[in-house]
Structure 1
Amino acid sequence: MNDRGARDEKNFKSALITALSLADGIPNREEVEQKAAGLAAVFGYKGDLSTVVEEALIAVVTRMGEGVSLVDVEAEHDQEWVHKRADLPTTYSDAYEDFLKSEGWHPTVVQSLSDVGTKILGHLQDPESEGTTWKRRGLVIGHVQSGKTANYMGLIAKAQDAGYKFIVVIAGIHNNLRKQTQERIDEAIIGRSSDPEKREPLGVGLSPGYPHPVTFTTIYDDFGKATSARGGWKLNDFSRPIVLVIKKNVSTLDSLHKWLKELNARGDGQIADVPMLLIDDEADNASINTNKPDLDPTRTNSMIRQILGMFDKSCYVGYTATPFANIFINHDAYDDKAREELFPRDFIYSLDAPNTYFGPDKVFLDEHSSERILEPIDDCEDYIPFSHKRGDQIAELPPSLYRALHQFIVARAIRNIRGQVGKHCSMMINVSRFVPIQKSIRDHISVYEKKLREAVKANYAMPEKTALGNEYMRALKSAFDADYDNCDCTWSEVQKALWSVFENLRTYVVNSKSDDVLDYKKFEREGKGLTAIAIGGLSLSRGLTVEGLTISYMYRNTKMYDTLMQMGRWFGYRPGYEDLCRVHLSRDSIDWYSYIAEAADELRQQIRRMRQDGLSPRQFGLYVKAHPDSLLITAMNKMRSGEKRTVNQSFSGKLVESYVLPRDMDINAANEQVIASFWRNGFGSSTEPTGKGWIIRDVPVGTIEDFLNRFRTFEAFTERKSAAINYLRAISEVHPVGDVLLISIRANGEDEAEYLLGSQDRSSARPDKHFPSAWRLSKDRVASRGDEKLGLSEDQRALAVGLAEDEGKQPSDSHYREVRNRPLLMVHVLGPMGKDSQDTRVPAFGISFPGGHYGMEVPVVVNKVWLELMEGGFADDPDQEEDYDE
């Protein structure tokens, strides 16, 4: 497809989606196909309709909720000022919304985005308001790769209309991310390319009479004092808004600060008449604790505060997908003043993800889809171990990586068959932070890719039997049979399409020292879809969008919430190829992602609950600070061996489970006796069947505590159990009774007369690599998802479904936890454990705590051994990153 063909397809798709939006209800595939055929006849469109129809179908079913906000309930702020200003123009916001529609966004989604943008703008200050000084501080929490950039560009457009004259976007710490953000700002806000060689209108600028904002940054150049000083420009020299896109580093911020001070400030160093908005994309990224001076988080934070402080009228809005950002809880990173100054005291806005988002829920929490998407990496340690050094030699790549490459080639061929030849398709390989190792991996991949290319060229048009005489063709056929044999095409069709994969296939090393440029726009301008294999480390780990990402292969040892979630570049939107996507991770990473995906969901639900209770961002900050998982950010790389700390923690709304279990059969036999004893006595009450065991209602908390005290856990888990018991005791005045679930599988040895629970299969469990005398459960979960609904009434279940629907989701255990609103003890017997122990029975428990206890905390003593057990080892250490990307 050439450039003209790509434009024609884009314009036709936009027209089709607009036409479909005028129909009543949501059309089905047949109706969309009929409408497309009719429009094609009218427009004279000769292109392939299949891809257009597929993307139009996705567009018409996509819906986006409004999200929810926490605001400072004591502040004197009227967020309705947006609706009260009769003179508020819509020039920039109208142009941006028209641009999104031209890009194929459905009008209802554009309207939802606009409505959310208006709400966030209302949380800012009216730039035309009376008063000499005001400062607003807020945070927007989105989802990784879910459209945060589209959201803040919409906010920028509306802010320009409202009268904000100086807007700064801080786009992470990497050059490639800043360039990517500048390109998007050029298209959606500035309206012309900032490429000095090609200053042509684009995006919103294609509309006649568009009032282009001013920018001093380009796709190649960050802000430098010399850039602006050359013309002696001042903020008030321009009648239109100024928009800058800069990196988050000390020298850039210092240059901006000096320019503002020397050319724009009054004698007292202040700027009085220029309302200023600062968007801090990836706001938690200052959490990176690097030894590079230009990336020092304390100095970076200080410079941001100094710039904001120069303006009498300023708004700071941080954007993040990781709610455990250091802005709340890392006392070691900043001084008190720094934390307080950027803390989102005025508002926190939690965005809803669209219903077509390919996110953590689908990849890790939905058992049906995650089984298809996830592939454990079990062989990489023998080739590229977690703990490799910069100078290590990579003699060969692991077989699992070659298998992922085979999947990629086959998946691209299927996408081409589906009419997606002009769409980008990428594979991500992230196994090392070291640039020399990344280059070595590229060399191995390039050699193997050449062999594949030659084999495909010689065999793709041959009879199948002849083609499969080649080992590389057999490897590709094996990937098809194992992963894609239920897609909408046959191997015969795929074989014929394989050669098309290699036409625009390129391999890139993506880091600050590489000359490779992962430039999707270049291929778009030529009307082509890039097929990219992107190999990298930190540059691939945050903010950078890997277009059309289909196959991901990541073997990294980080346990930091923000770093790990941001490494998940596989999240996003996968129109017409979601079924082809695969994510290869270590088993530890799969466990950990599953755990933190659930934790992040819980935090977003907490915002919604706090909103209902009329609480403020300050209470949310305190809640996060006391969250048990905050230790991962504050302590993981800072605690010395043997050191102990006492921290105050809250288990409000949390599920605490014994997912690390003793392998000692004597301990397990004794725990079965404890279960039988309490069951025999009915925990003090009568049992009721649930279809998966029994529920015992209204059990005194003291009885649950007695059971837990008698139940023996793996020795390193003792502190965790004690903390849970202490918290149970702390909330007992509010919740004097709880429920007990005896979870049992009838066909697996259940014997009610002998008080034996039927065991639950955990053959995926494995010996813990740090503690060989313990079992570690898959995804660090004891209960099966949905177990917390057992014993709830029909009305309670319906209420949980309603809560989930308000968030655009299926009900999860946290929703059932909310409607139960009392402590819940879940008792299990697991087995077989692991692949080679068929007769093993291992008792386990989980305690589900009700939410709403925001100020109730208990002291917990932790040490490095405890953290190592809970989180499976320590992370990559950024302090030792010789190759940390700029």
Structure 2
Amino acid sequence: MATTIKILKTVKPPLRWIPEPKDFTTEFLESKSQDPNGPSIEDLRNGPNSVLQEALRILGRCLPPSEPAGRETGLVVGYVQSGKTMSFETVIALARDNGYGVVIVLAGTKNNLRDQSEDRLKKDLGIDEGGDHWYHLSNPTKAQRSQIESKIDAWRKKSSKKSLLITVLKHGGHIEKLTAVLQAVKLNGVPALIIDDESDQASLNTQASRIRKLRAPANAMSTTYEKILGLRDVLPHHSYLQYTATPQANLLLAQTDLLNPSFSELVTPGDAYTGGHAFFKSAVGLVEDIPPGDVPTPQHPLKSPPKSLLKALRYFLLVAAQHSLTRKKGLTSKDRNRSMMVHPAVATTQHKIYRDWVEKAFSALKRRIEADSVSKPGSLSAIFQTEYDALAKTYSELKPLSELIAALADEVLDDLNCVEVNGTPDAEKKVSWKATKYWILVGGAKLDRGYTVEGLCVTYMPRPLGTSAAADTLQQRARFFGYKKAYLGLCRVFIQPSVKDAFTEYVEHEDFVREALVQNRGKPLRDWRRDFILTQLLKPTRPNVVGLGIRRVLVEDWIVPNVLQRDDVAVAENRLLLDKVDKKWSKDFSRDNAATIPRLAPTKGKSSNDVILDVPLTTVLEDFLLNLEVKDPKDAEEHSAMLVALSALLAKDPSLKVDVFVMNQLKPGYRSRVGTSTLPASNKFAPINQYFSQSANAINDRSFFTPDRISLQLRRFNLGHHQRDESKADIHDVTWYALYVPKKLKKDLFVENRD
């Protein structure tokens, strides 16, 4: 423990307090380490990114239990299927060990998700075994008021070691009932913890966009959001932790939003985790295209199962057979299953069609295998040969095809269930993973966010990207992510090419968001610029929860600020900065007259401009662009977007160079501010009316760049209101720049508006 405390005391920014893992946390972690396919006790407890260390950081930023009252809000970000539940279970264990009397888990917006989370919590926290650490209530109502009151009194008197765990459906009605119960209970001096699982879903104020656009009053609230605020209001001492893998909506909350987090922390997945990089960046052959002809549309409905669906089924049967031949005895339900997921569309009518197709195809294969496994084994091999050969390329330990077919006949075909998971009466309400080893699940929204498919190895998702696809929504469909390193080569994902492209782009976006969170972990997010790298394929999140103004900025061609200065301090600091880089770069790199570039040579004499060639982009960023004072709000947005884009380019290619054009050898030129008298006082420093001087059929300012690489123009201006009389300049020696980004390096970003 001494080592742990020493590590936690070095965390920056400092923690509010240092939690201590005691008996229950130790028992919990030891129990989790016993899972045959789970993490080792060393991975759970040791190292700065272990589950315990990260949980200690998270709880250490929450409200200390020793304080009499108050509230705190935090954001915890993981990857899809990366161990977020393990993280908040460990935080819950620590909270119980350190004097929190009540823990509330907002456990999903659908009953199947609440049941899944509730079952796991009861199992992992020892509640199913009647342990001495917890009382548990699910969706409590007023009828349970006296029960809650007695448990709280027992906790307060220390006559019981048990804390109270409440799981509730994330639904306005259920949260309101819980609030009414707790409001009638004395909670002073009872530290509470709220865990909001999938916090970017339903919890946020869907009226935010209408408020921002002045289409709704400033106090407008969506139902679930309002009820969560009401729940928080009846807890005198509490911390509220927002857990999610897709934080885009949380990060775009208005600065004044009551759920805006005051700190962020991250969940780091273990080495066995396979996410976006594993499927869309590193591994080859795991993702298969669904051709356009295999995707039903209203104009062209499919009358028979598409060939790609049948191919996916054959893959799954071979993988299930491999599992049957190699699985160990006595494994937990987490390890004993292999599953296929079919996600055709939202409409449940499509689910039934696809289930019928799968069942008929499976039944036909079953009859064929049962009939020919002995008399005509060669004909069966031909059915699976293509898929077998593909699996053999990505998984070196694949059993011989003849053995896999035998395993299909001996076990797999008799131990496989195909079910719908949706809201229809005939759907599977709760998949019992222990009932059988092999499953094919067909569904839509209920198989999206937060739902864990045990042993998922084959995904068939013809669902299109859509015209308004949001990055967070798309990523939450990736149920095929998870701890699958041991059998990653047996996994297959069938999606349309456009969806594949979007997932690939999301990986870059996710990397940037997490890196930004790492740099800002523990700090208030309201002080952080929310700049996201995204292409035209994706929006960051659904627009109705966005309380910040965001707009798209295309970093391509010329980027030129609109306003020359906002205050005298900025002018002075930028003037010194330009002097510094002019001297430094002229000394460190090759500087020459721009006329040495043939297309920029004037007909007579030298050019009035110089060029410094091959300055590393890292140098341009570190010496100049990152240090510029940009005071105009709109220019600041674009400048921030430009920095993000250049940083992303640099991450891909650290060797990028910039040609720097020293315009007019930094002698101040004159530009007028004609027409600025009509501008509001807040804009008195004037947008420049013409940055680039242009003359037809001549070399002009806009000509000075290198077409295939990033180019930077540096210059100075004197500014005045008189159109031609430079002697009337009233602002002198203003530093200015323009940046050119070639089309091949363009970046398309969303940036936050700051009005």
Short-chain TM bin: 0.5 to 0.7
Partner in structure 2 of residue 549 of structure 1:
456
What's the TM-score, normalizing by structure 1?
0.58
In 2 relative to 1, CA 188–856 (structure 1 residues): closer, same or farther, beyond 3 Å? closer
Following superposition of structure 1 onto structure 2, how do residues 376-775 of structure 1 map, counting pairs within 5 Å?
376-379=289-292, 383-385=295-297, 395-419=303-327, 423-462=336-375, 464-465=377-378, 467-468=379-380, 474-484=382-392, 487-488=396-397, 489-499=399-409, 500-517=411-428, 523=434, 530-556=437-463, 557-558=465-466, 559-610=469-520, 616-620=524-528, 622-624=529-531, 632-633=539-540, 647=550, 730=639
In 2 relative to 1, CA 148–728 (structure 1 residues): closer, same or farther, beyond 3 Å? closer
Deviation per residue, 1:397-423 (Å, 9 max, x gap):
221111111111111112223336862
Structure 1 position 318, deviation (Å): 0.6
Give yes or no for the alignment of 1:102 onto 2:34. Answer: yes
Deviation per residue, 1:684-728 (Å, 9 max, x gap):
76877xxxxxx9879999xxx9xxxxxxxxxxxxxxxxxxx9789
Distance in 2 between residues matched to 1:573 and 1:734, nearest whole Å: 35
C-alpha contact (below 8 Å) 2:107/2:168 kept by paired residues: yes
Deviation per residue, 1:333-362 (Å, 9 max, x gap):
xxx8xx6221111x2002222222101111
In 2 relative to 1, CA 413–277 (structure 1 residues): closer, same or farther, beyond 3 Å? same
1:284 to 186, 200, 217: 200
Structure 1 position 436, deviation (Å): 2.1
2:140 to 223, 241, 263: 223
Give yes or no for the alignment of 1:192 onto 2:153. Answer: no
- SS of residue matched to 1:607: helix
C-alpha contact (below 8 Å) 1:280/1:319 kept by paired residues: yes
C-alpha contact (below 8 Å) 1:323/1:600 kept by paired residues: no
Structure 1 position 279, deviation (Å): 0.2
- SS of residue matched to 1:300: helix
In 2 relative to 1, CA 289–531 (structure 1 residues): closer, same or farther, beyond 3 Å? farther
C-alpha contact (below 8 Å) 1:225/1:258 kept by paired residues: yes
Distance in 2 between residues matched to 1:439 and 1:279, nearest whole Å: 35
- SS of residue matched to 1:272: coil
Partner in structure 2 of residue 790 of structure 1:
655
2:744 to 840, 845, 851: 845
C-alpha contact (below 8 Å) 1:70/1:349 kept by paired residues: no
Partner in structure 1 of residue 266 of structure 2:
350
Distance in 1 between residues matched to 2:641 and 2:351, nearest whole Å: 54
Structure 1 position 462, deviation (Å): 3.9
Distance in 1 between residues matched to 2:205 and 2:640, nearest whole Å: 37
Distance in 2 between residues matched to 1:733 and 1:634, nearest whole Å: 21
Partner in structure 2 of residue 121 of structure 1:
59
Structure 1 position 93, deviation (Å): 0.3
**Structure 1, gaps ≥5 residues long:** 1-65, 84-88, 194-200, 266-270, 640-644, 659-676, 689-694, 706-724, 740-780, 794-822, 829-842, 860-886
Partner in structure 2 of residue 79 of structure 1:
16
What's the TM-score, normalizing by structure 2?
0.67
- SS of residue matched to 1:140: strand
C-alpha contact (below 8 Å) 1:552/1:570 kept by paired residues: yes
1:242 to 164, 170, 180: 164
C-alpha contact (below 8 Å) 2:341/2:456 kept by paired residues: yes
Q: How many residues align?
A: 583
In 2 relative to 1, CA 535–328 (structure 1 residues): closer, same or farther, beyond 3 Å? same
Distance in 2 between residues matched to 1:272 and 1:231, nearest whole Å: 14
Distance in 1 between residues matched to 2:448 and 2:643, nearest whole Å: 44
Partner in structure 1 of residue 230 of structure 2:
306
Distance in 2 between residues matched to 1:412 and 1:855, nearest whole Å: 46
C-alpha contact (below 8 Å) 1:379/1:399 kept by paired residues: no
C-alpha contact (below 8 Å) 1:685/1:696 kept by paired residues: no
C-alpha contact (below 8 Å) 1:365/1:598 kept by paired residues: no
Distance in 2 between residues matched to 1:343 and 1:377, nearest whole Å: 40
Distance in 2 between residues matched to 1:589 and 1:657, nearest whole Å: 28
Structure 1 position 608, deviation (Å): 2.5
What amino acid maps onto 1:580 in structure 2? L
Distance in 1 between residues matched to 2:471 and 2:8, nearest whole Å: 22
Distance in 2 between residues matched to 1:69 and 1:323, nearest whole Å: 27
In 2 relative to 1, CA 432–568 (structure 1 residues): closer, same or farther, beyond 3 Å? same
**Structure 2, gaps ≥5 residues long:** 1-6, 208-219, 559-595, 602-608, 626-633, 659-704, 711-741
C-alpha contact (below 8 Å) 1:68/1:350 kept by paired residues: no
Distance in 1 between residues matched to 2:525 and 2:11, nearest whole Å: 6
Partner in structure 2 of residue 319 of structure 1:
243
In 2 relative to 1, CA 405–496 (structure 1 residues): closer, same or farther, beyond 3 Å? same
What amino acid maps onto 1:448 in structure 2? A
What amino acid maps onto 2:415 in structure 1? N
- SS of residue matched to 1:477: helix
C-alpha contact (below 8 Å) 1:140/1:348 kept by paired residues: yes
Seq. identity, %: 24
Distance in 2 between residues matched to 1:109 and 1:686, nearest whole Å: 51
Provide the alpha-carbon RMSD of the alignment.
4.6
